[in-house]
Each structure stands twice: as C-alpha cells, then as structure tokens.
Amino acid sequence: QVQLVESGGGLVQVGGSLRLSCAASGRTFSNYAMGWFRQAPGKEREFVAGISWTGGRTSYADSVKGRFTISRDNAKNTVYLQINSLKPDDTAVYYCAAVEYGSRRLEDRSRYAYWGQGTQVTVSS
C-alpha cells in the first residue's frame, strides 16, 4: 500500500509555468512507476506523463510533449511534473498514480493501483 499526496497547483496565466509534486508514503517508493493524469469537469481522466520504476523510461501524451517534464527523486519519495507554456486547455485537476514495478504501457490508466486526491491547475488568459 502507498499513499499519494499532490501539491503545487494554482492559478497561472497562459504561457506561464508550474511545478507539481506528488509525495508518496513508505520506504518502497523506488519500486513504483509513477504517472500523472488530469481530469477536466465533465471529461474522463486522461494520461499526461509517466516514469518507470527505474526512472529509465518516460512517456508523454502528445498534447504535452515539449512542454511537460516528469521526474522523480527517490530519496524524497517524490515525483514531479514541470509544466511550461501553459494553455487554457491544461486546466484540470491533476492526479498522480503508482503501480509497482511498472515499466511498459505507462499511459494505460488501468495499470495504476494507487491514486492521490488531485491538485487543481487553472490557466487564465
């Protein structure tokens, strides 16, 4: 079992940047692949970015490639999502998720067993 807590969301202007954090409990954080998903009102939760349990592989949705960067710091039990060049359609609740020893198909929501409560990102003009 692992508990996840997101932070770092807020209100940002178009073109701005934001860094989201996801803190995980336990001493086995390094065994988990981590993913970021987002959900806008009335829409399904969609994949944003993922990183393998080894940190050797990353995956991004086409809509965020070149703007978003996922990284992890196992010493801090934390995964990050650096968001640059924000657009209005980036507005959503952002969730982090975890799957033990995940490496492939990081974009597949069904693989993730644990989820945080989410943090709101709002992009204004």
Token pair 């995964």 is found at 79
- Exposure letters 99-113 (e unless 16+ CB within 10 A, then b): beebeeebbeeebbe
Report pLDDT for 69.
98
Of 26, 3, 20, 18, give the one whose Cα is nearest residue 74: 26
Terminal alpha carbon distance of the chain: 40
Q: Is the dihedral of CA 58, 66, 39, 122 positive or negative?
A: positive
Report pLDDT for 49.
98
Report pLDDT for 120.
98
Q: Phi/psi at 90 (nearest 5 deg)?
A: -80, -10
pLDDT along the chain (125 residues), means of 10: 94 98 88 97 96 95 97 94 97 97 94 96 95
Report pLDDT for 125.
87
Report pLDDT for 117.
97
Q: What whole-number distance in Å separates Cα of residue 30 and Cα of residue 55?
A: 9
Report pLDDT for 1.
77
